[in-house]
Amino acid sequence: MAGYENILIVEDEDTLRGLITRNLEARGCRVREATTAAEAIEAVLAEPPELILLDIGLPDRSGWDIMRELRALGKEVPTAVISAVRVSPQRLQEFRPIAYLPKPFPLEALLRLVETGLSEGTEVADV
């Protein structure tokens, strides 16, 4: 598989996280999961992934907090934001995720993003 192979999914919704994990693993990706911001930061510090699939609404802190903390630690990782909450253009400009996938999104769009290894600034429409 070209693109990203070592992926961290940060998603607190069990069904969606499981669906994404199964589909990525079936395509040969190594997937780790986190359900909170604390777990996500710990996972990145232990072994930085090639890509983070990041939900914004988490139970302990926001996905933006994760990106901010990782940036402060010098551990910026390509990140695709997946969120049910509409993301402002200002947030996208500030954090520069490689993609933004508003929920519900077509699973095929996420799989294409992972398979092609899109570069920073890719809009969901381009995925």
Q: Which helix (H) or strand (E) holds 104?
A: none
pLDDT of residue 80: 96
Which neighbouring-strand residues pair with 30? Answer: 6
| Mean pLDDT value of segment 68-86 | 94
Secondary structure letter of residue 62 according to DSSP:
B
C-beta of residue 1 within 8 angstroms of C-beta of residue 27: yes
Q: Where are the domains of the chain?
A: 6-121
Q: What is the pLDDT of residues 6-39, one digit of tens each?
A: 999 999 999 999 999 999 999 999 999 999 999 9
pLDDT band at 2 (very low <50, low <70, confident <90, very high): low
Helices (H), 47-88: 63-72
Could you name the CATH architecture of 6-121?
3-Layer(aba) Sandwich (3.40)
pLDDT over 70 for what percent of the chain? 91
Give me 124's structure tokens. 């969901």
| Mean pLDDT value of segment 55-59 | 96
Query: What is the average pLDDT value for the chain, to the nearest integer?
Result: 90
pLDDT of residue 85: 86
Task: Assess whether pLDDT exceeds 50 at residue 58.
Answer: yes
pTM exceeds 0.85 for this model: yes
